[in-house]
Structure 1
Amino acid sequence: MTALRLLVWHRLRRDRVQIPAWIGSFAALIVLAVVGLQDSFGSVAERTALISLAAANPAILFLRGAPQGTDVDAVLVFTLFSFLGILVGLMNTFLAVRHSRAEEDSGRAALIAATPAARWTPALSTLVYGLGVNLVLFVAVSGCFAVAGLDAAGSVVAGLALAATGVTFLAVGLVASELMPSARAANSVGVGVVLISYLLRGLGDAFGTVSDDGVRVDSAWPAWLSPIGWANRTRPFTENALAPLLVSLAVAAVLLGVAALLLARRDAGASVVAVGIGRPAARRSLAGPVGLAWRLQWPSIVAWAAGGAVFGIFGGALAPALDDGTLGGSVISDELTRLTGGADLAEAFTTVIFSLVGILAAAGGIQAIIRLRQEEAGETGALMLATPLSRLGWLGSYLIVGAVAVLAVVTAGALASVVAAFVVGVRENSAHAVLAAAVQVPAALLFLGAAALAWALVPRFTAGIAWGGLGLAMFLGIFGPLVGLPDWAVDLSPFRHSPEPQGTDTDWSAGIVMVMLALVTGAAASVFFRRRDLAGG
């Protein structure tokens, strides 16, 4: 028991900044959303116009969720809950991997194994700590909803739903840590499961059945395959159904059992997915820094590109079947028209889909810089720089691979969308899909340059700054206008300044500015990196 308590305390101390930042961001998002929603859609008529538009627009349902009425609390859940589900999933999968597989990668797990602590103690301490984090999450979320003046019972259900989602993804992270040979691979699996869960939830909501009054949507069956969908099915503040949480807890229990079985059967440092032996002689491409950086990262790049292709297939197959006849003349439709440059519903849907592809592209670029930081922290970078390789050449190789990752994700999404459109027999939307993909590149490259600058200035906080900045920009750019955030806050997101795809009339000026900023931040990163020592550990 002493060893368990010490290891739980050790995990708590290591995360003394990260976890409060995560949970604090959840609380801030809820408070901002409540205030913004009441300011922007304070009347029943405005909320009815918003929800009627959403219920008739699969693009909005895919992005936000299934609406359950026009009350303030119901509209708040519709606008925010799915996004919170993504963040809770990422927080828990990263937590699980950080305190399990990453401990083995660093060698700390072997040191603990040399003490009287039992074999199960580190894994059990990670589980206990993760459950405690989700308990704090439940209290924080429920408290914020209640303090905002919403119904107490609904606030509790909302907190329970997100906490149960977190426990499910905690179990996903623990299983991924047992399956994969490295923390990086386990994190990739965790992120993939979170994104697939969001996609399944989106599919279920987009194909849902609209009620007769047009303000409620009953999700289709794909939503039942998603932990985020289970959380949404609780329908806080309207039905307060707790039964879907039993599904979350049952799946979490099964996954925890699988993780325990795998832990009992594998050796320390081993994995179910074996590491390839490799070639007896290195390829000639590995003689240079770019080739080596590519070799280290191509599986992650392929995974991000596959995610972009999935979204592209969905956009290409479904968008041509939509029309804009149901939008009517509401004030919300005017906002949608402004955001999409006057495009019809099919083009608007494609634009929404590729805004998500742009986020994946930015994440792929950030991943390259995170890998650079891992090489430095593991002191592999010191070995590299002990050769004739310059600091500029080392950083430059990862920037090149990061740019390739951005282009690979966007290209995969565009090609998949075009192929899907041809398969369903409608080709008219293909050109718009390619353009909607291309306009995402500048913002994604800017995130790559910003991540490199963060690494050069504060290397130990690279991951937190890069991923946190991407998450904040995603919320501001996609959710900010809907919850009524001020324009200056929304404009902080680079995604907000991506060119609007309008064929030959597309204005690329903002995109050019972002590309120039990306080059400037990359150059600044090289200057600052030359002036600091390597930061190991």
Structure 2
Amino acid sequence: MSTTTARVEPSPAREAILNARPGVILRALLRQRLRRDRWQLLIWLVCIPLLASFSAASIDQTYGSAAARAQLMRLAIADPTILVLRGLPQGTSLAAVTFFEIFTFLALLAGLMNTFLAVRHSRAEEESGRAELIASSPAGRLLPTAATVIHATLANVALAVLTALGFASAGLPLYGSFVAGAATGGAGLAFFAVGLLLAQLFSTSRAANGFASAVVVLAYVVRGIGDATGTPFGDGTHLRAAWPSWLSPIGWGEQFAPYTANDWRPLLLQVGFAAVLVAAVFALQAVRDSGAGVIPERSGRPSARASLAGPFGLAWRLQWPTVLGWTIGGALGGLLAGALASVVNGTLANDSSLAGIRQSIARIGAGGSGPLTELFISAIFSIVGVLAAACAVQAVIRLRQEEAAGTAELMMATPLTRVRWLFSFVAVGVVAVVAVLLAAAVASGLSAVAAGEDPSTIGSSFAAATAQLPVALVYLGVLTLLFVVAPSATIPVGWAALGLGAFVGIFGGLIRLPDGVRHLSPFADAPVVVGHVDWTGGYWMLGITAVALAGAAVLIRRRDFAIG
């Protein structure tokens, strides 16, 4: 008996794929990335240049005269609070003051944009299994990474050009505006490389994103310490940053000194740093297993902990590394607040510009008329409040990720109700917010006392932390309601609302935004706990949180799960 084997003729499409040259494959991968990111990138590439343009126009209206700008720069150099939050004074021209006011925030946003992009096209692809499928084709393992690097480079070039046009559209010098745009794009490229490297180290996109975001925030804080401890020179309106600023890509961006020195050399530092990290990424990717991180995961337990029998235990298990990262960031922010508060109190107690310094701190969001140390701590805790709110946002985003991946629907096959599943993640968000603020309060109080401040400073630190609790909770509650009503909008709207809310609420006072605009942000209505205590804004936010969560509990019963 004879047998015949059917001969499978290769299809033209398969032959085309197998015989495609690397350049053709690379272009196809690049087109895929551009298509996938078209809406996320569009939001970033529109919002960041608009912030640059809007800030330049606002400062022109507020500080139109050279004398007003000179007074602002001298006040900033005298007050470390402003230097930590804003940047490096480099002259009194309208363009130089604009760069001082807005650049560090633009670089922070550029850093977050790039770290998210890096993890989305590397670790997240491996986690979903798509990277392994592509690696089985002629693309291999390295061409997708090369496409991601090119994609990020093009995105940052576009960011640099659009940011430059944003500055120039407000009437600032064109050449200096392109230097400022290059500083922003260069910082973004450096942070992209950081995110890509962390995606090699960790085995989950959640951990990679969490640590990458912490690195961006840490770079902002380190830069702030370097600026706050810098040395004035010239006519008292220029500052030379201390060495900590040189440890941060954001600090490197400040050294461009647009509109004054227009120094392009720091771009070599940013690009060189990115090139070194990208080379390390290619070296690691060539030797590690697909899907595995350089830092190995711990072996699982033979049996699950009793805490995993309920939804809260599972929600906590999924999120505790992220919560830990934000908590460490909160502790560092508190440490900065307590340590610098003593410096402010000691050096400015008899300063003739004390009234102006109090006014500038109040514009940051620290209302009241108490001691200068308490005002400073309250101002710094506005930034800690952003970290706590970010932790709340990530808790809700995790809800969306669980739903999109289909794992939430699997849990609904058990006796678990939708409301209980929803509120298990909300409860983790509440715990995370409290942990961030508590760590910051303890670190702030102890560091201030260690620096020689009165022990009552510990109470001031806890009061400042408590004032930020309603702000973080209102983000948690409203975003939870948005997740129930429009799940696909949860992630982009969550981060956009946090970024714009922080800018408008905390920094809007420094550029004299209208009160009606400022009070659209919860950060502008944080309770006043210095001097005359006023919890009116806090009560309103707690009420809004309760209503939003109640609405989410009712509506979650009535909608289908949105997978994908």
TM over 0.5: yes
Residue type at the aligned position of 2:308: L
Aligned pairs (5 A) from 1:409-424: 409-424=436-451
The answer for the alignment partner of 2:462 in structure 1 is: 434
**Bigger Cα Rg:** 2
Residue type at the aligned position of 2:523: F
2-structure distance, mates of 1:535, 1:3:
33
3-state SS, counterpart of residue 502 of structure 1: coil
1:382 aligns with 2:409: yes
CA distance 1:229–1:327, change in 2 (3 Å): farther
Deviations 1:54-98 (Å, cap 9, x if unpaired)?
110001101101111111001100110000010000000100100
By how many angstroms is 1:30 displaced?
1.3
Aligned residues: 536
1-structure distance, mates of 2:81, 2:501:
20
Aligned pairs (5 A) from 1:96-495: 96-211=118-233, 213-323=235-345, 324=348, 325-326=350-351, 328=353, 333-337=358-362, 339-426=366-453, 427-495=455-523
1:83 aligns with 2:108: no
Q: Say whether the 8 Å CA contact 1:456–1:529 is kept in structure 2.
A: yes
1:513 aligns with 2:540: yes
Query: Quick one: percent identity of the two aligned structures?
Result: 47
Residue type at the aligned position of 1:286: L
Deviations 1:216-262 (Å, cap 9, x if unpaired)?
11110000000000001111101111122211111111101111111
By how many angstroms is 1:331 displaced?
5.8
Residue type at the aligned position of 1:474: A
2-structure distance, mates of 1:57, 1:331:
10
Stretches (4+) displaced over 6 A:
none
Q: Say whether the 8 Å CA contact 2:75–2:356 is kept in structure 1.
A: no
Q: Say whether the 8 Å CA contact 1:53–1:332 is kept in structure 2.
A: yes
3-state SS, counterpart of residue 322 of structure 1: helix
Deviations 1:286-310 (Å, cap 9, x if unpaired)?
1111111111111111111111001
By how many angstroms is 1:522 displaced?
1.4
3-state SS, counterpart of residue 370 of structure 2: coil
The answer for the alignment partner of 1:32 in structure 2 is: 54
Aligned pairs (5 A) from 1:1-20: 1-20=23-42
1-structure distance, mates of 2:550, 2:133:
41
2-structure distance, mates of 1:440, 1:259:
39
Q: Say whether the 8 Å CA contact 1:7–1:125 is kept in structure 2.
A: yes
**38-47 or 319-328, larger mean C-alpha shift:** 319-328
3-state SS, counterpart of residue 17 of structure 1: helix
**339-348 or 143-152, larger mean C-alpha shift:** 339-348
Q: Say whether the 8 Å CA contact 1:171–1:255 is kept in structure 2.
A: yes
Structure-1-length-normalised TM-score: 0.97
Deviations 1:255-294 (Å, cap 9, x if unpaired)?
0111111101111111111112221111111111111111
By how many angstroms is 1:12 displaced?
0.8
Q: Structure 1: where are the runs of 5+ without partners? A: none
2-structure distance, mates of 1:402, 1:307:
16
2-structure distance, mates of 1:331, 1:58:
13
By how many angstroms is 1:329 displaced?
6.5
3-state SS, counterpart of residue 38 of structure 2: coil
Residue type at the aligned position of 1:265: V
Q: Say whether the 8 Å CA contact 2:374–2:530 is kept in structure 1.
A: no
Residue type at the aligned position of 2:522: P
By how many angstroms is 1:211 displaced?
2.3
1-structure distance, mates of 2:135, 2:550:
44
Residue type at the aligned position of 1:490: R
Deviations 1:427-474 (Å, cap 9, x if unpaired)?
342221111111000000000112211211221221111111000000
Residue type at the aligned position of 1:438: T
Residue type at the aligned position of 2:463: L
Q: Say whether the 8 Å CA contact 2:449–2:457 is kept in structure 1.
A: no
3-state SS, counterpart of residue 210 of structure 1: strand
Structure-2-length-normalised TM-score: 0.92
2-structure distance, mates of 1:526, 1:96:
35
The answer for the alignment partner of 1:62 in structure 2 is: 84
Residue type at the aligned position of 2:544: L
Residue type at the aligned position of 1:497: D
**370-379 or 106-115, larger mean C-alpha shift:** 106-115
Residue type at the aligned position of 1:99: H
Q: Say whether the 8 Å CA contact 2:388–2:436 is kept in structure 1.
A: yes
3-state SS, counterpart of residue 65 of structure 1: coil
**509-518 or 226-235, larger mean C-alpha shift:** 509-518
2-structure distance, mates of 1:62, 1:336:
12
Deviations 1:487-536 (Å, cap 9, x if unpaired)?
21111110000011226x41112101101111111122222222211111
Q: Say whether the 8 Å CA contact 2:199–2:205 is kept in structure 1.
A: yes
Q: Structure 2: where are the runs of 5+ without partners? A: 1-22
Residue type at the aligned position of 1:113: A
CA distance 1:317–1:330, change in 2 (3 Å): closer
By how many angstroms is 1:419 displaced?
1.8
1-structure distance, mates of 2:359, 2:291:
57
Q: Say whether the 8 Å CA contact 2:339–2:447 is kept in structure 1.
A: yes
Q: Say whether the 8 Å CA contact 2:194–2:277 is kept in structure 1.
A: yes
**331-340 or 400-409, larger mean C-alpha shift:** 331-340
1-structure distance, mates of 2:434, 2:296:
30
**163-172 or 426-435, larger mean C-alpha shift:** 426-435
2-structure distance, mates of 1:335, 1:316:
19
3-state SS, counterpart of residue 440 of structure 1: helix
3-state SS, counterpart of residue 341 of structure 1: coil
2-structure distance, mates of 1:263, 1:183:
16
2-structure distance, mates of 1:380, 1:270:
21
Q: Say whether the 8 Å CA contact 1:320–1:429 is kept in structure 2.
A: no
By how many angstroms is 1:337 displaced?
4.6
2-structure distance, mates of 1:365, 1:190:
17
Q: Say whether the 8 Å CA contact 1:104–1:110 is kept in structure 2.
A: yes
3-state SS, counterpart of residue 372 of structure 1: helix
Residue type at the aligned position of 2:101: T
1:523 aligns with 2:545: no
Residue type at the aligned position of 1:355: S
3-state SS, counterpart of residue 130 of structure 1: helix
1-structure distance, mates of 2:443, 2:361:
25
2-structure distance, mates of 1:493, 1:402:
20
